[in-house]
Amino acid sequence: MEFSTQTTASLHQIKTAALGVGVFTDGVLTPAADIIDRASNGALRAVVKTEFKAAAGTSIVLRNLPGVTAARVILVGLGAQKDYTAAKHASAERAFAKYCGQASLTEGVSALASTDCADTTLRQRASAAATAVLYALYRYEGTFGKPQSNKPKLRKLALSVTRSQAAEAQKGLREGHAIGNGMNLTRLLGDLPPNVCTPTYLGSTARKLAREFKTIKAEVLDRKRIEALKMGSFLSVSRGSYEPPAFIVLKHTPAGTTARNRKPPIVLVGKGITFDSGGISLKPAANMDEMKYDMCGAATVLGTLRAAAELELDREVIGLIAACENLPSGRANKPGDIVTSMSGQTIEILNTDAEGRLVLCDALTYAERFKPAAVIDIATLTGACVVALGHNNSGLFSKDDALADSLLQAGRQANDTAWRLPLEDTYQEQLRSNFADMANVGGRDGGAITAACFLARFTENYSWAHLDIAGTAWHSGKNKGASGRPVPLLVHYLLGQAA
Ligand code: BES
Ligand code: MN
Ligand code: ZN
């Protein structure tokens, strides 16, 4: 996919298969729409008056407008002007991209980013435009018997902006390109079936990234080396499965990094349960297939590192992934088992379905060796987080207000929001065990919080945040598929840390 900018005031003379322009409700035209309206003798105003209400995300196609060179003008609804936000702009870009894809067009020009929008910069809108196009073009085709026929042909998108906006728009397009590619890698890994996307497969994906990008190095530790590290908690989860576990270490090191100019890295830790049956505490059958998505934290780490590398991000980023399956068997964890984590703390496993924290805790201990500036873990950790926040916001937990605020802000800029939940020591009581340093579950109440409290016990030596993406990593139902979240949030955060 090729992105570019076009700088002309004469929008009506742009030669393209599809020109995207926005209109607000109540007939308020954007400056771009106004140019087209004047050139076509009021054709837009007429449509807006009669049939197009301009609700956010809707669109209408106008062909062969008199006085307009573009073959089609796609009018995209932006909602009410006073409520025009980053989210509405992104959905408008998505509607335009979706149209171009469905109409089998090979190129198009969007003027949507040129309109001012609350709380965003032009650079962010350009980024959102590029991401929207790549998002709309994603097709899962990993495992069909026949080639799929609905492949979009879109190859080129230009943003129409003013001359003074062009440089910023270019930067935004480059960022959005990296974010879109990163998200689509994350989505593919999530969507692949669990008999394909195994811990070993995640390991080879990491190695492939290292071959593709010269700033990335990958190392995949096998069971023997995980044992040598004494990751007893992680290994206990993998014990019930025939599929070997993998502990993946990815590094993006900017070119020109030396021992003297090296800054403390940012470490991302991903939950990589490639299938979560619950283990001996077996889950009910309904929708259990969706537990193939229980590696979306790991997929997010891979997608975010890919984006960092594509952007040649000027900050060292380390990705850690603890990958295994959670299955019942004669060798699997049992309720009542006590395991010793890499940190030396012991854990009584009261529910084998609370396995995410058991693999993450050892990865979080491993993170200490990098003397990180910050550690962020990403995990489809609890159903309780979905109950609390639904599917719009990821759950954010941190004792570090500055880190939490940066992540919340990055989420807003990226249109990939998170919502902060409490992480107070008073909740720790629920994890008390009579037989070990802690239990792995704290009861039903505040389940997302007690899960975060569990992880907090392994993160005392650095600044840390936890993202519970159980409600945001994939969509269920007819449009079942991974969302690529929270790659945009994390890339925006990293861009802020590189500046
Ligand atoms: N992977 C699940 C969490 C999950 C459930 C994510 C549903 C998305 C949708 C996790 O391993 C899990 O099973 N958590 C348990 C914890 C409980 C046993 C304390 C849960 O949420 O029920
Ligand atoms: Mn589970
Ligand atoms: Zn799980």
Tens of pLDDT, residue by residue over 82-124, are 999 999 999 999 999 999 999 999 999 999 999 999 888 999 9
Question: What is the DSSP code (8-state) at residue 82?
Answer: G
CATH number for domain 180-498, candidates 3.40.50.12280, 3.40.50.300, 3.40.630.10, 1.10.150.20: 3.40.630.10
Q: How far is the CA of 223 from the centre of ligand 1 (A)?
A: 25
Q: Please report the atom of ligand 1 found closest to the CA of residue 385.
A: 21
Q: 103 near 152, Cβ under 8 Å?
A: no
- Radius of gyration for the chain, computed over Cα atoms and rounded to the nearest angstrom: 24
Residue nearest to atom 6 of ligand 1 (CA): 470
Omega into 486 within 30° of 0, i.e. cis?
Answer: yes
The ligand 1 atom at the shortest distance from the C-alpha of residue 440 is 19
What's the confidence (pLDDT) of residue 150?
82
Q: How far apart are CA 11 and CA 6, in angstroms?
A: 10
Q: What kind of fold does domain 2-160 have according to CATH?
A: Leucine Aminopeptidase, subunit E; domain 1 (3.40.220)
Q: What spacing in Å lies between the alpha carbon of 272 and ligand 3's midpoint? A: 9
283 is a catalytic site residue: yes
% the chain with pLDDT above 70: 100
If you take atom 16 of ligand 1, which residue's CA is the nearest one? 354
DSSP 378: E
What is the bridge-based pairing of β-strands 72-77 and 2-6? unpaired
Q: What residue spans define the domains of the chain?
A: 2-160, 180-498
**Distance (Å, whole) CA 485 – CA 493:** 13
Q: Is the pLDDT of residue 149 over 90?
A: no
Say which residues have a Cβ less than 8 Å from residue 355's Cβ, sequence separation at least 6.
237, 273, 276, 279, 326, 333
Cα separation, 131 vs 413, whole angstroms: 13
Is residue 9's pLDDT more than 90? no
> Could you give the 3-state DSSP secondary structure of residue 278?
coil
- Please tell me the distance between residue 459's alpha carbon and the centre of ligand 2 in angstroms: 21
How many residues are given for the chain? Answer: 499
Residue ranges lining ligand 1, Cβ < 6 Å: 276, 294, 351, 353-356, 380-384, 386, 441, 447, 470
Each residue of 395-454: pLDDT tens digit?
A: 999 999 999 999 999 999 999 999 999 999 999 999 999 999 999 999 999 999 999 999
Burial bucket for residue 419 (CB in 10 Å: 0-12, 13-18, 19+): middle
pLDDT tens for 22-38 read: 999 999 999 999 999 99
Distance from Cα 380 to the centre of ligand 3, integer Å = 6
Name the nearest CA neighbour of 301 among 275, 325, 270, 271.
270
Ligand nearest to the CA of 441: 1
Task: Please give the number of the atom of ligand 1 that sits closest to the Cα of 444.
Answer: 19
Considering the candidates 156, 283, 399, 480, report the single residue annotated as catalytic.
283
**In the structure, how many helices (H) and strands (E) does the chain have?**
14, 19
